Structure 1
């Protein structure tokens, strides 16, 4: 499965930045050893259900130290029997785009 998630603390400070909290979450994802990628808004991680959800749980708890509550947004692509889709989906998309270009 692939999970795309975003986790951030809520804080009452108007000038608060969440990058330190997000950095803690991303460190946990990267240390997991599972295939992953981080963009400006989401982190994607690929693996089996229990291992992926455990990483999301640990990342969420790490962020909780930075605020009084935590916001977690999660989207999952559950496709049993498939792996390598974190990159495979992108390759297929890029191929489709390239084949559709007018020359």
Structure 2
């Protein structure tokens, strides 16, 4: 399965390194979540709005849970947006889907 997710803190920071700067940026909090994803060893990619991760249901959901928990120190609540492509028996789709798209674009000339 591939999961695309985004987590962001809101509310008053609990205990932790939140509150650095006053520009309402959440990059430090997001970095904590992305570190959890990258440390998982599962195939992943991060864009400006979402992080994608590929693996089996339980391992992917465990990583999403831990990434969400990592954000928790930056606010009193956490927003999680998640979209999943559940396709049993298929692996390598985090890159395979992009490769097929690029091929189709090339065919359109």
Runs of 4+ in 1 over 2 A off after TM superposition: 11-16
Structure 1 partner of 2:16: none
1:90 aligns with 2:64: no
Counterpart CA distance in 2 for 1:19 and 1:39 is 12
Structure 2 runs not aligned, ≥5 long? 13-18
For the aligned residue pairs, the C-alpha RMSD in angstroms reads 1.3
- TM-score (normalizing by structure 1): 0.94
Q: 5+ unaligned residues in a row in structure 1: which ranges?
A: none
Counterpart CA distance in 2 for 1:68 and 1:19 is 17
* Number of equivalent positions: 101
Report the equivalent of 2:15. Answer: none
TM, length-normalised to structure 2: 0.89
Counterpart pick for 1:81 among 56, 67, 89: 89
